Amino acid sequence: MANTPSNQALAHGRYIRGSVSKVRRVLDQIRGRSYREALIMLEFMPYRSTGPITKVLRSAVANAEHNLGLDPSTLVVATAIADMGPSLKRFRPRAQGRAYAIKKQTCHISIAVAPSA
């Protein structure tokens, strides 16, 4: 993603609590859709990860509008990826003095929007 074309606006959401696989199943649904269509889909999906994804998508569109002077009605979700972040390590007490490790996963969300071709 370091070599984004000059007409694409990029936004990142880092250290988002939630597993990568659960975020990716939502990103797969909005990739390639128009901005308005993606927002409507995110609003009605029953997943917890739609909140942070919506926030990153709105940020990418704001970047496109402010930095590149693009019209939001013409924008399409060009790329939407989720990468694994660091895991928070916690411990839960168990029977006979044992400790059970719990990994609370985080992820990094990157969304790029571009004008429709």
Show me where the domains of the chain are located. 9-82+108-115
pLDDT per residue as tens digits for the range 96-113: 999 999 999 999 999 999
Q: Residue 116: its pLDDT value, please?
A: 85
Per DSSP, the residues of 12-56 read EEEEEES-HHHHHHHHHHHTTSBHHHHHHHHHH---TTHHHHHHH
Q: Does the pLDDT value for residue 33 go beyond 60?
A: yes
Q: Does the pLDDT value for residue 4 go beyond 70?
A: no
The architecture that CATH gives domain 9-82+108-115 is Alpha-Beta Complex (3.90)
Q: Does the pLDDT value for residue 38 go beyond 70?
A: yes
Q: Residue 1: its pLDDT value, please?
A: 52
pLDDT per residue as tens digits for the range 39-79: 999 999 999 999 999 999 999 999 999 999 999 999 999 99
* Cβ neighbours around 86 below 10 Å, total: 12
> Mean pLDDT over residues 12-28, rounded?
96
pTM value > 0.75: yes
